[in-house]
Each structure stands twice: as structure tokens, then as C-alpha cells.
Structure 1
Amino acid sequence: MPPGENLDPIPDSFILQPPVFHPVVPYVTTIFGGLHAGRMVMLQGVIPLHAHRFQVDFQCGCSLSPQPDVAVHFSPRFHTTKPHAICNTLHGGRWQRETRWPGLALKRGASFLILFLFENEEVKVSVNGRHFLHYRYRLPLSRVDTLGIFGDILVKAVGFLNINPFVEGSREYPVGYPFLLFSPRLQVPCSRALPRGLWPGQVIIVRGLVLQEPKDFTLSLRDEASHVPVTLKASFTDRTLAWVSQWGRKKLISAPFLFYPKRFFEVLLLCQEGGLKLALNGQGLGATSLDQKTLEGVRELRISGSVHLYCVHH
């Protein structure tokens, strides 16, 4: 960032809420910045063997009395001969006409990953990577600011994300990659092999939490000779984010610095012809140039520094 340059205040959509691990149900929490089109909420857990039902409510407030409106009520039912899910809306203390969705993919005793994708007119819900239902809003999405989870469910993690901003690297339906807590494979420094290199359309995802007293953070790509064609480096001393070439040349990225202590982050790298595109917390931040031969020659992704990793996917 050039000296003296003033950046606009960081919008709410640029700040991601940290994931919550193993919350006790019933669980109610504020959704930082509320909901808007492009937001995703990911739920990981296990269905108890004798579960009857559970519900996930996206609420307009968190008061106990009067009961808040519920814009989206998602409730799988297991105690019937044909397990199904119910979607509904609570407005002014009255439930509206419910919508029933058969063919429930959730099973008693099994783990699951549910992804809620909020679009302009409706929410889409996938279960274990497969689209399950869509539910059209009956209340404005902008009113939703609270998440409530109730019933027979063991929750491992709740994540709050933004949709991939890269059209080139996106699919018709986003894939939810689980958050892992204290996984040996995510210990820093963390290395991932890239035996086929990088190709156009491939997306690298790194999610984690900045430590309390951070010193540095680097994400580097290395070839077979351990050369480092490019590194993404966050400097905590001068609060800058930059691309660093293999010759040490630094190219500053003009963007708000988000790597503050105890703050959650998501880095997306999209490989395209001619280089890599970068997004931080769902916001596109430009690209760096690399020729295709260099990209195809990359064999390792390495992450180091003052962070605790929750997810690395490529």
C-alpha cells in the first residue's frame, strides 16, 4: 500500500466470522453482518442413533419473548416411515404453509455436512455435497441476523463463508470442505504435494485463524528443484500483503489488511492461463503473472507462519 493512501472502511462482507467447534445444542449465535446473497453457512456433525428431529433456524433477532420471526426453518424428521425435511417461515408468531422435501439424505448414526447457500431469491441446501432442496424467501434476507440450532443433533463445527468470487473456478453448486480442529495434517508448517502441477480452473483453498502474537504468514509454491516461483506473504510489522517472486521482487497488493490476531481468514488462489488470481475472504484482489510452464512445474504448496489451519484443499 503506497504511503499516505487512505483505504475505504472494511465492509462487513470482508470480515468472516470464525468457525465454532463443538457447540452445545440448543445453540444460538449472532451472524456477524447478517445474511446477504453470496453468503454460505456450513454445518458439520453427526445424527444420533435415536434422533427424532432437529432444526436449523435463520432468525430475525434472538429474543425469547416475543418469539422472533424465522425467515428460514430447516427441520429434518427421522421418526416417520419416510424421513423427510420441512422448510417453513415464522412471521408474527404464526407458521406459514410448510414445504415438505422427501428423499432425506441424512441418516441416523451417520456424519454429515450441510451447506446453506443464500442467493437473491432463495436458499439452496446441499447434504454431503449433493443438492437437496431450494426454498424461496418469504421474509427479506436482510432481516436475518441470528442462527439457531435445536433438537437431536451433535454439531462438530459451524462455518460462515462467502461464495467463491471467481466465475472461472466455480461450479454450479459450491462444495463444502470440512473444517478440522487440531488435525495433524494441518500442523504448521504445512505441505501439500501437487504431483500434476497447477492447471487452469484449479482452486487452492486455505482457511485458518491468525495466532494471538503473529510474526509472519507465507503461502509458497515450489517446483521439483525447490525453487519458489511465487510466494504470498503477509507482513505483520507493516501490515502489508504482497506477492514475492523467486528473485525477491515484491509486488504489494492494495487491499485492507485482514490478518489481525485471532481473526479468521480464507485465501483462494485460482489458477488461470497466465497466472494466479487471489481472493481473500471472498473478495477478489487481482492477479499475479506466471507462465503456463511454470504453473505446470509446481509440485508443492507450503504454508508457514503464525496461523492455525482449519482447511487446506487443492
Structure 2
Amino acid sequence: MFVAPPGYQPVYSPSIPYLGPVYGGLREGSSIYIQGSIPENITRFFMNLLCGQSESSDVSLHFNPRFDGWDKVVFNSRQDGSWKSEEKIRDMPFSKGKGFEMVVMVTSKGYQIKVNGKDFHTFKHRLPVERVCGIHIAGDVSIQTINVIGVRLQGSEDFSCLLWGMGGQPVYNPPVPYSNMIPGGMSPKRTIIIRGMVPNGANRMSINFMVSRSRDVAFHMNPRVREGIVVRNSKIGGNWGQEDRELIFPPLFLRCLFAVGIRGLRCL
């Protein structure tokens, strides 16, 4: 059974309102990736980054889209029970009845918000980001995924890349290119999760699941960031097959889950 380490386990399809922890807290370089959808009859929803374990805790970031005839997004913070001055952005990055992908990136200046791959607003820090330890989401919204990337786990080194599933043992910050055997090979329901960050200016990367003896490639995954596509393929007897191309949007963060029912593979 696959069990991701705390802080790297995404939250899938949470009930709304949602109140959950951010294991290890946030820091500069951390990112929160949220995938969801907006109902047709939306009025408003909000996401709070909490400096505590309850809804009444201090709020480092209050993100509040409002569909009220004067569509806008309100940013704010709360300290000692009191809301501070609002920042109102008279623009709406969300569409009624449509899905969205939102990224909150922690920078030295503040929380940089991207929606559907486009920069929206940076909310300057008012409270120390290291105090953040929870996420609260409520209102008219449906959430498919919440994923926190780049946290610092207690008792572990800081790591930006994790490979989990090699015989149950994680591999932290491997050099790239990386090559290793998969103990016992692949089998149905076996999962390998690779987590990392795509640097600015990245062009492409590739992940190959190889048959160790023949060097055939059972699964080739090639995200091409600048083109905004993911190419998938296989190579048998030295010949590549027909490419399977899929558009990705936004091409900023890649979350890869593999469950390939083939034995004797080598991960390159």
C-alpha cells in the first residue's frame, strides 16, 4: 500500500467548508496548488491561510472572490480578531460554471496568485509566513485537489524533489539525470510518485520506464513546457510508436502519478 509522507499527500475532493493543516508550515519558495470549479449560481467563496488550528485564528492571507454585480477579489488579513485594510482588485479571474487551476506562490514580497496560468495579484506579507499552519476554504466552490509543495517537514532536510515508491523508501533530491532500478519491478496498483519544481525558463523534461534487459521503453512521458503539451510514447525494438499528445494548462506545475502494470522496468 502506498502511503505518502505527511505534507506531500494531496487532498482530493474535500467537502466544503474545508479546514485542514499545512504540515510543517510555509516558507519562501512554498506553493499551494488548488484545482476546482465554480458553480453557475456562485455568490462568493474564500480561502484563508490560517496561523492556527481553528477558523478564528489569525489569517495571513484572505482571498475572497465576490460575484456581486461589481465582480472583484478582496484580499485581507486578520490579527487578534480584527480584520485589517482590504485590497480590492476590480477583476475576476474565475468564470461561472468553469473549472480553474490556482497557484499561491510564497515569495519574499508576498503571496503571488496565479489563476489558470496568469498572474493575478501579489498580496504583500503582513504576518510572518512561517506562522501559517492551516487552510480554510468555504463558500460557493467545488475543490478537486489541494496540494502543498515545498514544505519543511519536522526532522527532515529541506527537499524540493521527492521520488517515493522505490521499494517503499523515498529518494530525496536525486541528481538529474537520475537512473535506478525498481525493486521487484512494476505491478498492478503499484504507484510511483515524483514531485518536484519546474524552474523558470524550463523547456522540457522526460521520464522513462524501461525494460532493463531489452532497453525497450514501456512508458515515455515528455512534458514540453514551452509548447504547453505532454508527449507520451513507447519504444520497442529501437522504434518509437505513435505519439500521444495532450495539452497542459498551465504548464507550471506537474504532478505525476504512475501505475503501470508491467514488471522488470527501470526508471531513468
TM-score under structure 1 length normalisation: 0.52
Query: Matches of 1:83 and 1:161 in 2, distance apart?
Result: 30
Alignment equivalent of 2:29, drawn from 9, 19, 38:
38
Query: Matches of 1:94 and 1:216 in 2, distance apart?
Result: 43
- Measured at CA, do residues 210 and 84 of structure 1 come closer, stay the same or move farther in structure 2, by a change above 3 Å? farther
The answer to whether the Cα contact below 8 Å between 2:33 and 2:148 also exists between their aligned partners in 1 is yes
- Measured at CA, do residues 268 and 57 of structure 1 come closer, stay the same or move farther in structure 2, by a change above 3 Å? closer
Query: Matches of 1:141 and 1:215 in 2, distance apart?
Result: 31
- Measured at CA, do residues 301 and 262 of structure 1 come closer, stay the same or move farther in structure 2, by a change above 3 Å? closer
Matches within 5 A, 1:74-85: 74-78=63-67, 80-85=68-73
Q: Percent identity?
A: 23
Residue 82 of structure 1 aligns to a residue whose secondary structure is coil
> In the alignment, residue 77 of structure 2 is paired with which amino acid?
T
Query: Matches of 1:265 and 1:231 in 2, distance apart?
Result: 12
The answer to whether the Cα contact below 8 Å between 2:192 and 2:257 also exists between their aligned partners in 1 is no
> How far has the Cα of 1:63 moved from its partner?
2.6
Matched, 1:28 2:19: yes
Q: Which residue is equivalent to 1:309? A: 258
- Measured at CA, do residues 269 and 63 of structure 1 come closer, stay the same or move farther in structure 2, by a change above 3 Å? closer
Q: How many residues align?
A: 188
> How far has the Cα of 1:58 moved from its partner?
0.4
> How far has the Cα of 1:32 moved from its partner?
1.3
The answer to whether the Cα contact below 8 Å between 1:17 and 1:264 also exists between their aligned partners in 2 is no
Matched, 1:70 2:59: yes
- Measured at CA, do residues 264 and 61 of structure 1 come closer, stay the same or move farther in structure 2, by a change above 3 Å? farther
> In the alignment, residue 49 of structure 1 is paired with which amino acid?
E
Any stretches of 5+ residues in structure 2 without a counterpart? 152-160, 172-176, 185-189, 208-230, 235-255, 260-268
Query: Matches of 1:215 and 1:15 in 2, distance apart?
Result: 14
- Measured at CA, do residues 210 and 29 of structure 1 come closer, stay the same or move farther in structure 2, by a change above 3 Å? farther
> How far has the Cα of 1:210 moved from its partner?
3.8
> In the alignment, residue 72 of structure 1 is paired with which amino acid?
L
Query: Matches of 1:16 and 1:264 in 2, distance apart?
Result: 14
Matched, 1:233 2:162: no
> How far has the Cα of 1:21 moved from its partner?
1.0
Q: Runs of 4 or more off by more than 2 Å in structure 1? A: 206-211, 213-217, 234-237, 261-265, 267-270, 299-302, 307-310
Q: Which residue is equivalent to 1:102? A: 90
> In the alignment, residue 94 of structure 2 is paired with which amino acid?
L
> How far has the Cα of 1:269 moved from its partner?
8.4
Query: Matches of 1:76 and 1:264 in 2, distance apart?
Result: 33
Q: Which residue is equivalent to 1:156? A: 144
Q: Which residue is equivalent to 1:134? A: 122
Query: Matches of 1:68 and 1:93 in 2, distance apart?
Result: 8
> In the alignment, residue 109 of structure 2 is paired with which amino acid?
E
> How far has the Cα of 1:277 moved from its partner?
11
- Measured at CA, do residues 207 and 82 of structure 1 come closer, stay the same or move farther in structure 2, by a change above 3 Å? farther
The answer to whether the Cα contact below 8 Å between 1:60 and 1:144 also exists between their aligned partners in 2 is yes
> In the alignment, residue 25 of structure 1 is paired with which amino acid?
I
The answer to whether the Cα contact below 8 Å between 1:18 and 1:264 also exists between their aligned partners in 2 is no
- Measured at CA, do residues 231 and 100 of structure 1 come closer, stay the same or move farther in structure 2, by a change above 3 Å? closer
Matches within 5 A, 1:84-99: 84-99=72-87
Q: Which residue is equivalent to 1:51? A: 42
1:216-256: CA deviations, max 9, x gaps? 99xxxxxxxxxxxx76225558xxxxxxxxxxxxxxxxxxx
Q: Which residue is equivalent to 2:228? A: none
Any stretches of 5+ residues in structure 1 without a counterpart? 1-13, 164-205, 218-229, 238-260, 279-298
> In the alignment, residue 19 of structure 1 is paired with which amino acid?
P
Query: Matches of 1:210 and 1:106 in 2, distance apart?
Result: 37
1:9-66: CA deviations, max 9, x gaps? xxxxx975211111101111111110000000011111011011000110001235xx
Residue 132 of structure 1 aligns to a residue whose secondary structure is strand
Residue 41 of structure 1 aligns to a residue whose secondary structure is strand
Q: Which residue is equivalent to 1:17? A: 8
